[in-house]
Structure 1
Amino acid sequence: MKHFKSVLDPILVPRIVGSTNHANVRKHLVNTMHDLSWTVEEDTFLSNTPFGKKNFTNVIATLDPGATRRLVLACHYDSKIHREGAFVGATDSAVPCAMMLNLATVMQTSLNQHNQTCLKKKTKEIHKKKRPKVQSRKGKRGCTKKELKKLLKKFKGKSRSKKRHNNFFLGLHRVHRDNVNKTQVRRNVQRSSLTVSDTTSLPRQPLRSYGKIKCCTASGSKYKLIFVPTVRSDLTLQFLFLDGEEAFREWSEKDSLYGARDLAAKMKNRPYPDVNIDNTNELHRIDLFVLLDLLGTKDVQFSSYFKNTDRWYARLISFERRMNDLQLLHRRQFIFRKHTAHTYSIEDDHIPFLRRGVPVLHLIPTPFPTVWHNLSDNERSLHYPTIENLNKILYAFVADYLHLLI
């Protein structure tokens, strides 16, 4: 927890939009993510508030901007204007900000490995006593489709991975007939179904891997089959540190969620790819939107708020129980309960994204902590064993979702 506290301390100050503390916290977020070699964007905009026009800045940090899809972790970094004094907002949301910074640091090595475009080359040779002389359509030596399928079948049996993703299937994408025949192979991870009550089966997000198979060398009395795996996931990790979540006067549709509303609207109006016929936009790149809020107090309880993300919530249930069985957590009551609250409505930064069809996993305890919007929401209200448990469960969730090698 030493590193966690070191990134939390600069955030444990009142962070009212437009204040010096607010700007300093933003710099802390930007500098920390820059130091980890993430691509950081400061999205500044002007918006009307009950106190006139104000500048807001969303901080967007992306591990690999070139990846098509994103697992998004989000929280807000501003704090509420409190009539009775200086409001720190330790749970709301200094701790979530620090959890994200801590995750990026602790998992830096695994995340960097994930960011690489290929794995080591592997070579497999299959020896044959005789090589059949087969004439291709171009008059050059090559193997027939039947022989190629036999090679692929034998190769698949010998090179099946025993380490991790053993549920890939090998499919023929295309066959080129040339001096050296090449087969492009696509492998996809099957996705399984899961409900909140069933936490024994863990579904995986599809991960695409590509590789080349070369067969039928130009000379010699053997077949040489070479598989060159190029494993590049089209999925990356993105952090959104959103500004202006809190209302300036009284919570309303116009006086709240300033950063989330602006960013969601911008993303919807930004086509992706730049030229496409499907009317897709930047919001379609969000694979899952995970919002962290009101975290850090003792004995909190979570629920699943959206049916289409029940299975991801079930992963959290499973991770907590398995890690608890391995004595990796501080022993307390389970915080991820087998409970759905699909009719429970919470106004938070996820709303502008949810209304535009983005799948949301909302990590907010219900009931809210007793310190919510009180001056007592400061460091003294925090329970570090619970925070450490949450950190570990979040590490496991991100590692599993991104298929990190840890």
Structure 2
Amino acid sequence: MGPRTSTLPRWRALLSLLGLVCVLAAPALAYAELSDTTLQNIPSGADVLNPHTGALLSPILVPRVPGTPGSTAVQHHIADFFARELPLWRLEWQNSTSRTPATGTTDIPFMNLIFTRDPPWTKGNGDVGRLALVAHYDSLYKPEGFIGAMDSAAPCAILMQVARGIDAALTKKWEAMVESDDAGLGLEDDEKDTDSIYGARSLAEKWEAEMYPAQSTYETPLDAINLFVLLDLLGAVDPHVPSYFPTTHWAYKGMANIETRMRKLGLLATKPKNSFLPESHKAAESFRSGGYVGDDHVPFMVRGVPILHVIPTPFPPAWHTMDDDADHLDLASIDDWSKIVTAFAAEWLELDEFMSHVMKQEIRSRSEL
């Protein structure tokens, strides 16, 4: 099944959730493949994604239990990165409190960071469909001192790298649309069950209740999410990520095709026994009812939002242990995921010619120095 197209405007936006959400605008029609040239120009983030020294990832590799100084420091790290390097993205804080079995009668704060970059002429008016790229940034409170490098510091850093990798091309695309007068056609943590996903449940409830103005294409922010892509437990060697949902298998195949093409072009550093995303040819009858991993997407899924869950099964051996730290991350895998997801977002947003144009400009600028 492909993306919903019957009543959608021509343009979506990309939304990024983190306990982190990133949002953008792109065509609602089936997207065209990126050219080989554009794939070859997808930037590497190996320097900034290094677990020990990388400017994006290493500051997240601290215990960050909700309501603690570590969680606050990571929030500031993420917010400061967007403010400093991607100032055209809008940050919204969605805050809530909840009591947990571990804290008894004490209310714990949960904060979602939502980074949105919509076409400049839309002004968030309910006429823009959204691609939501999502990860959670908080970590478990037990075992004490738990880092959660794969769960989910690395996915958060990957999303930051993705946003940086497409930002300039988005600017070029929307400038070209304004110049051609095409702008009128108009891109958003925790554990399981009730003792979990507190921030995700709060945000899903808020977006379901918040109504856009009358005559908008979408009724609510929840309705505007065309695809919700959740990244989790990424950063170990040789991940096996299944296709969990028949309704979004078309999107899974798109991401898997990107991985296959990038491997054939020699653009990925890892040499796994099998592909990261090996189930492109999964038959319809092979999908099992209830055959998915419960996670932050569930409050959105039960409200009808299409979900692409990028999580390996079996889980990495370090899952929920003290071994889930910087030393057990594989930099090559992290950087390859960042390239694959960047290409997926660029393809969804139809940035092919604009990614190439930006790269040519950067090469020209370097040659003039």
TM-score category (smaller protein): 0.7 to 0.9
Structure 1 position 376, deviation (Å):
0.2
1:24 to 66, 73, 85: 73
SS at match of 1:73: strand
Structure 1 position 119, deviation (Å):
5.0
1:63 to 117, 124, 139: 117
2:218–2:224 contact (8 Å) kept in structure 1: no
Does the alignment pair 1:230 with 2:166? no
Question: Structure 1 stretch 328-337 or stretch 263-272: which is displaced more?
Answer: 328-337
Query: Residues 341 and 33 (structure 1 numbering): CA distance in 2 closer, same or farther, change over 3 Å?
Result: farther
Whose helix proportion is higher, 1 or 2?
Answer: 2
2:107 to 53, 72, 80: 53
- Which amino acid counterpart does residue 363 of structure 1 have in structure 2? V
Structure 1 position 120, deviation (Å):
4.0
Query: Residues 341 and 299 (structure 1 numbering): CA distance in 2 closer, same or farther, change over 3 Å?
Result: farther
Q: In the aligned structure 2, how far is the partner of 1:79 from the partner of 1:329?
A: 29
Q: Deviations over 1:249-303 (max 9, x none)?
A: xx4x32101011000001000112x225998211111010000000000000111
Q: What TM-score, normalized by structure 2, do the two folds share?
A: 0.73
Structure scoring higher RCO (CA < 8 A, sep ≥ 6) equals 2
Matches within 5 A, 1:4-403: 4=49, 5-35=54-84, 36-37=86-87, 38-50=89-101, 51=103, 52-64=106-118, 66=124, 68-83=128-143, 85-116=144-175, 118=177, 120-121=179-180, 229-231=181-183, 234=186, 236=187, 238=188, 245-247=189-191, 251=192, 253-272=193-212, 274-276=213-215, 280-330=219-269, 331-332=271-272, 333-338=274-279, 339=282, 341-343=287-289, 344-403=291-350
SS at match of 1:62: strand
Q: Percent identity?
A: 36
SS at match of 1:70: strand
- Which amino acid counterpart does residue 48 of structure 2 have in structure 1? H
2:134–2:229 contact (8 Å) kept in structure 1: yes
Q: Unaligned regions of 5+ residues in structure 1, if any?
A: 122-228, 239-244
- 2:366 is aligned to none
Query: Residues 110 and 233 (structure 1 numbering): CA distance in 2 closer, same or farther, change over 3 Å?
Result: farther
Number of residue pairs aligned between Structure 1 and Structure 2: 285
Q: In the aligned structure 1, how far is the partner of 2:90 from the partner of 2:185?
A: 18
Q: In the aligned structure 2, how far is the partner of 1:362 from the partner of 1:322?
A: 21
Q: In the aligned structure 2, how far is the partner of 1:303 from the partner of 1:319?
A: 15
SS at match of 2:314: coil
Q: In the aligned structure 2, how far is the partner of 1:113 from the partner of 1:279?
A: 26
Whose strand proportion is higher, 1 or 2?
Answer: 1
Q: Unaligned regions of 5+ residues in structure 2, if any?
A: 1-45, 356-369
Q: Superposition RMSD on alpha carbons, in Å?
A: 1.9
Q: In the aligned structure 1, how far is the partner of 2:244 from the partner of 2:343?
A: 21
- 1:159 is aligned to none
SS at match of 1:304: coil
SS at match of 2:56: helix
Looking at CA atoms only, which structure, 1 or 2, has the larger radius of gyration? 1
Q: In the aligned structure 2, how far is the partner of 1:96 from the partner of 1:313?
A: 17
Q: In the aligned structure 1, how far is the partner of 2:265 from the partner of 2:217?
A: 47
Q: In the aligned structure 2, how far is the partner of 1:24 from the partner of 1:115?
A: 34
- Which amino acid counterpart does residue 53 of structure 1 have in structure 2? D
